[in-house]
Structure 1
Amino acid sequence: MSKIVLITGGSSGIGKSIGEFLLDKGFKVYGTSRQPENYPNSKIKLVPLDVKDEVSICSAVDLIVQNEGQLDVLINNAGAGITGPLEEIPMEAVKDNFETNFFGPIRVIKAVLPQMRQQNSGLIINITSIAGYMGLPYRGVYSASKGALEIITEAFRMEIKDFNIKMTNVAPGDFATNIAAGRYHAPVLENSPYKEIYTDVLRTMDEHVDSGSNPLVMAQEVYKIIQTKNPKIHYKVGAFLQKFSIVLKRILPDKVYEKMLINHYNL
């Protein structure tokens, strides 16, 4: 039987690429969107789901289980970007980002675990970010929310291992997607002491996304993980220097690594 896959945030970007790739490989794929009616030409079946809304999550999971009798793979892909000087980002925006990037995936995991436990099988893949391995200037909230998801996955894995349910993280670097368009930008304030530097960093971040890798690379990596009997805890996917930055953080003194980031962002 084909494996049944649920991908949150499956209407565009990395989620869409993963869904279409798995569909071509013979999987039965359900993607999610808060407004699936806006994507009438989607190759994968989209169901309504908002990761901030437990009722919509449970409804989507119940629908899939009723239709298919099983749920084999959850890919927690839905996420939101956020930028700005930490001093100036409204606290409501900080909380909202964690609702999507951290609490959202946990809600979906909790919704699928009973079915996977009943099956005595399942795989959960959390899409995090290489940014989650380090505190990046003007992306601190995003780094923190993705880093929190990386860490909680480590705990989840140990708690669910006796139910034959696997869990892993996949941390992408910069990919050519529309994430910049949907990112929350703290406004560049005319009287802000961060105005010039923040404007320059924003421009640099957008250039990195525009020149990023093809999302197909992520889809291929996710496919390999699904085919792996015992997935690793952490995977990193992206340009060599992006992945190598994580290695450098482990081996360099803190202040040396901080200086490297300061130079990279021209701060």
Structure 2
Amino acid sequence: MSKVVLITGGSSGIGRAVCTYLTDKGYTVYGTSRNPEKLPSEKFHYTLERLDVTDPGQVQDLVGRIKEKEGRIDVLINNAGVGITGPVEETPREEIEKAFDTNFYGPLNLINAVLPVMREQKSGLIINITSIAGYMGLPYRGIYSATKGALSLVSESLQMEVHEFNIDICNIAPGDFNTDIANRRYHAPMPASSPYSQNYEQVLDIVNKQVAEAGEPLKIAKTVEKIIRSKNRKIHYKVGAFMEKFSVVLKKILPDKVFKKLLLNHYKL
């Protein structure tokens, strides 16, 4: 029997790569997009449903419709997210709240909706797409790091809480991948008079260059399928370039001041 997979943010980037790959592998895939009606349907050979992950009513309705049609939901992949950059001091409060609404509260909305379904069927897998940036505070990406770090930590708690119901929770923390996230992320307004303007622009140039030169998200799609098939899953998976993954190790073993200096040197600050 084909596993039923629900993936948020399935119209572009990592989400689209995962949806396409799993569909080709024979899974029954439901991707989501905030505005699927604006997208040419012939480009997608999987079901693309309308969903705003920040709307609990929409989430409950979609999960209910999939459950009614398929009889089960085997895998939830929380992939929908937004990028945000800027100095913490000068990032508008409403934009910080929007980032948390999508990157943290949105996944919780989906988790809360599918857990009753998975308990009823006595099995399930939830994969949260976090970020290597969630393991450390990065300059001018502090809010983004905070949203992804929060999702990673709550996943650890959830894994223990739902263990008795035969439900697994896993995180995939990607490094930089060649997607359109750089064109869609929110940038805090930066007037020339800002004390951060020069350094912020410099860091942003480095970040955008890293994304443009990064690998394809197919690597994440293959990791997702490997996790689905695995019988002995870990909670944390890191996918990216060697130094991106190794930076997490360095943060654990190096003194704080030394690790801070490495980041300052990397971003030329």
Aligned-partner Cα distance in 1 for 2:51–2:62: 6
> For residue 194 of structure 1, what is the amino acid of its counterpart?
Y
1:60-109 per-position Cα deviation (integer Å, ceiling 9, x unaligned): 11111111011000000000000001110001111110111111101100
For the residue of structure 2 that corresponds to 1:87, the secondary structure is helix
Q: Does 1:98 align with 2:100?
A: yes
For the residue of structure 1 that corresponds to 2:139, the secondary structure is coil
For the residue of structure 2 that corresponds to 1:193, the secondary structure is coil
Unaligned runs of 5+ in 1: none
Q: How does 1:252-263 map to 2 (within 5 A)?
A: 252-263=254-265
Q: Does 1:159 align with 2:174?
A: no
Q: CA deviation at 1:38?
A: 1.8
Counterpart of 1:218 (choices 189, 207, 220) is 220
1:209-231 per-position Cα deviation (integer Å, ceiling 9, x unaligned): 11111100000000000001131
Structure 1 match to 2:51: 49
Is contact 1:97–1:142 with CA below 8 Å preserved after alignment?
A: yes
Aligned-partner Cα distance in 2 for 1:148–1:231: 21
In the TM superposition, structure 1's runs of 4+ consecutive aligned residues that sit over 6 Å from their partners are: none
> For residue 55 of structure 1, what is the amino acid of its counterpart?
G
> For residue 21 of structure 1, what is the amino acid of its counterpart?
Y
Number of equivalences: 267
> For residue 16 of structure 1, what is the amino acid of its counterpart?
R
> For residue 99 of structure 1, what is the amino acid of its counterpart?
D
Aligned-partner Cα distance in 2 for 1:50–1:153: 21
Is contact 1:122–1:165 with CA below 8 Å preserved after alignment?
A: yes
Aligned-partner Cα distance in 1 for 2:196–2:29: 44
Aligned-partner Cα distance in 1 for 2:181–2:61: 27
Structure 1 match to 2:6: 6
Q: Does 1:265 align with 2:267?
A: yes
Aligned-partner Cα distance in 2 for 1:43–1:210: 27
CA RMSD of aligned residues (A): 0.7
Q: How does 1:1-267 map to 2 (within 5 A)?
A: 1-39=1-39, 40=41, 41-267=43-269
Aligned-partner Cα distance in 2 for 1:170–1:34: 23
Task: Provide the identity percentage.
Answer: 58
Is contact 1:166–1:230 with CA below 8 Å preserved after alignment?
A: no
